[in-house]
Amino acid sequence: MLASLRIEEGRIDEAVELLKESHGLHVGVADPLQSALDVFRFAAAVAATGKAEMATRIFSAADALANDLGLNLNSWDPPYIEFVTRMIRDRIDERSFEKAWAQGRTLNADEAVALALESLG
């Protein structure tokens, strides 16, 4: 997806605009899988700004949303998942990661997106 490329290029503002549009479309057509992937991409954007705890919460929400569909988020795009995981894990200790991960599990897609947008504000 173009937003993921923009994140890798460090063009976060452009990525966020693309993600807002994408998420709106996926919510409009009631596509929970694509919404979960949008949430993950928002986590990537937040991670790229160095906000590891917030990115972890949002990433965790995406993972929980995928799990609710009987899917494993890690199977979607393993290299990109690893790229985002490294961005987060390089900036957070294990205890903080685990706490943020637990907090994110309870978020729905809209709540996770709202957190991301607030964080990226």
Residue-wise pLDDT tens digits, 21-64: 999 999 999 999 999 999 999 999 999 999 999 999 999 999 99
pLDDT digits (tens, 9 = 90+) for 79-105: 999 999 999 999 999 999 999 999 999
CB 34 within 8 A of CB 69: no
Q: Using alpha carbons, select from 67, 55, 36 the residue that is nearest to residue 96.
A: 55
Burial class of 106 by CB neighbour count within 10 A (0 to 12, 13 to 18, 19+) = exposed
pLDDT of residue 76: 87
Is 0.75 topped by the overall pTM? Answer: yes
CB 55 within 8 A of CB 46: yes
> How far is the C-alpha of 53 from the C-alpha of 96, rounded, in Å?
7
